[in-house]
Amino acid sequence: MVGDLHTHSTFSDGSVPAAKLPFLAACAGMTHLAISDHDSITSVRYAYAHPVQDGVHLIPATELTAYDFERAHRVHILCFWPDDCAALEDFSRMMADRRREAVLQSCRELEAICPQFKTQEALDFAQGCDTLYKAHVMRVLWQYGLADGMYNNVYRSLFGLRPVRGKILHNPKYETVDTVLDLIKACRGVAVLAHPSVYHSMELARELIASGRLDGVEIDHPRNTPEDKEELTRLARQHDLIVTGGTDFHGMNANNTRPVGSFSTAGEQIARIEAAARARKK
């Protein structure tokens, strides 16, 4: 038993439909898969509606976005086996609305400076998605040769945050880490801090682990540093945390493409996630 517990589909900012991901997982030898689209109840519902597809067991999941205001960084928290409930639906709809409005504002400003860009084409790329992402905007530019890939120099000039703010950057309002963790608890889900290296979240990870607010940490991720992996492994052993891994697959909507299953979660850890979820749903 082995699984890729971090993937994205066209339900959010991935390029591959959810229905195709189990096949890709099966080809990679995965027995389990989590389609963990951003702030999405749609990916959760897909897994509940398709518990086994192409011989692969789907774990209901979403990757929830929070903000660490103390350190001024986004935070991603994987939520496994949440209830399909009003609280998660409301959060998903709220974030979809906020994200759509932020990216539409970016699109209006981009139309004013780039005559080749039309917002409708970004919306066309977003068909099947609950909202609109920067990835959809970049796909329009890339297809016309106006961008050097998805997330390279052109992306940084438009949407970068540091060291220079992008000229059309508008981010949605994010909720606090405490709010998102409380949501996961209300949904009876299993909370795993995603890729702590990506948003420089190791200090936050130490705090959340010490306070007992996490069920697990994602260690086998392509962008975690060796140093952070070593510390996370030690902390996980010390606090008996679940350890997960995943590719963070986005299909072609990525700079460094990696196939589904190239990073994974061991069978005993998948069993721990399922046991924790069952215990909370009694």
Buried b (16+ CB within 10 A) or exposed e, 123-132: bebbeebbbb
Q: Which domain holds residue 133?
A: 95-159
Whether residues 147 and 79 share a domain: the answer is no
- Predicted TM-score (pTM) of the model is 0.95
Q: What is the CATH number of the domain that holds 60?
A: 3.20.20.140
Which one, of 265, 282, 269, lies nearest residue 188 by Cα? 282
The total number of structural domains in the chain stands at 2
Beta-strand ranges (E) seen in the chain are 2-7, 32-35, 52-53, 56-58, 61-68, 73-80, 190-193, 216-220, 242-245, 265-266
Whether residues 207 and 74 share a domain: the answer is yes
**Residue 168, in any domain of the structure:** no
Q: How far is CA 142 from CA 16, 103, 147, 226, 240, in A?
A: 17, 17, 5, 32, 45
* Burial grade of 51 (CB within 10 A; 0-12, 13-18, 19 or more): exposed
CA 38 to chain centre: 5
User: Which residue carries 């951003």 as its tokens?
Assistant: 38
Whether residues 270 and 139 share a domain: the answer is no
Residue type at 261? Answer: G
Render each residue's pLDDT in the chain as its tens digit; 282 residues.
Answer: 999 999 999 999 999 999 999 999 999 999 999 999 999 999 999 999 999 999 999 999 999 999 999 999 999 999 999 999 999 999 999 999 999 999 999 999 999 999 999 999 999 999 989 899 999 999 999 999 999 999 999 999 999 988 889 999 999 999 999 999 999 999 999 999 999 999 999 999 999 999 999 999 999 999 999 999 999 999 999 999 999 999 999 999 998 889 999 999 999 999 999 999 999 988
Whether residues 153 and 274 share a domain: the answer is no
